[in-house]
Amino acid sequence: MTDAFDLGPAVDDAANVLLAAPGVGNGADRLCGDLATADGDVPEHVVTVTIAGSPIESAKEWRDRLGPGPSVSSLAIDGMTRSAAAQSAPAIGAATIEYIDSSDTVQELGRRIAAKLDDERETVVCFDSITDLQECLGQEPTFEFLHALGSQVRATGATGYYYIDRTLHDEETMTLYSTLFDAVVETGNGTPE
């Protein structure tokens, strides 16, 4: 766990942050957590969204970092990861794990994420990942989805961190997505800089 990043006012005040890093495997939540807790604050409510990964691993990462206090709510796409995750489910304490059916629309995914936002509590959203969503939907729908999600995150006073694997996108694509965010954090080795 990292605990001493000076991210500057641009990131501190940002509602939506693009988190660009080389492939981190299951490490997106760790990076989001590093950023979300960089100023020493601990969120009261964490929403994790994983398109291709395991929501259980995601919830466990946040539990290990934050302890039992904050609520953790993980949303994933029902698919190949579910059976494997269920077989090796670690003890993660109180966390809500939800799956959205893979035949559902992307609009439904958006509504389900928005339903988990809580404007009464300090909320962090960790989205893993733009790369996987673009793989599913293509670039323009992904771009439009991210703006709609970002507007909901901002409206509820939450902070969203959106991971993108920068090794899988060219510079043009990285620049395109960066226009949606209030701040961009680039990391070279899986550690926010």
Partner 1 sequence: MSHATCDVTVTSDVVLVCIADDDLRRDVTATLRSEWPVRTAYDESAARASLDESVSVLLLDLADDTFDIDQTLDRQDEDGIAFETAALVDRHARTDERLDGYVHKPVSTDELRATVDRLHRRVQYDRLLGRYYSIATEYAETASARQQDPPELTRLRERLFTLRTRLDDIADGLDDADAFDAALGEYEDDDVGDFSLDDL
Q: How far apart are CA 91 and CA 117, in angstroms?
A: 24
Q: Least Å distance between CB 107 and partner 1?
A: 4
Q: Which is nearer to partner 1, 67 or 141 (CB)?
A: 141
Q: Which is nearer to partner 1, 96 or 102 (CB)?
A: 102
Q: Which is nearer to partner 1, 37 or 129 (CB)?
A: 129
Q: Least Å distance between CB 94 and partner 1?
A: 25
Q: Least Å distance between CB 99 and partner 1?
A: 11
Distance of CA 169 to the CA centre of its chain: 18
Q: How far apart are CA 182 and CA 14, in angstroms?
A: 5
Q: Which is nearer to partner 1, 64 or 118 (CB)?
A: 118
In this structure, how many other beta carbons lie within 10 angstroms of the beta carbon of residue 7? 17
What does the binding site for partner 1 look like in residue numbers (CB under 8 A)?
51-52, 77, 79-80, 100, 102-107, 109-111, 114-115, 132, 135-138, 140-141, 143-145, 147-149, 151-152, 154-155, 170-173, 175-176, 179-180
The answer to whether 18 touches 184, Cβ cutoff 8 Å, is yes
Q: Least Å distance between CB 34 and partner 1?
A: 26
Q: How far apart are CA 82 and CA 154, in angstroms?
A: 30
**The pair of three-digit structure tokens given for residue 107, joined into one six-digit string:** 């609009």
CA-based nearest residue to 164, from 141, 133, 125, 138: 133
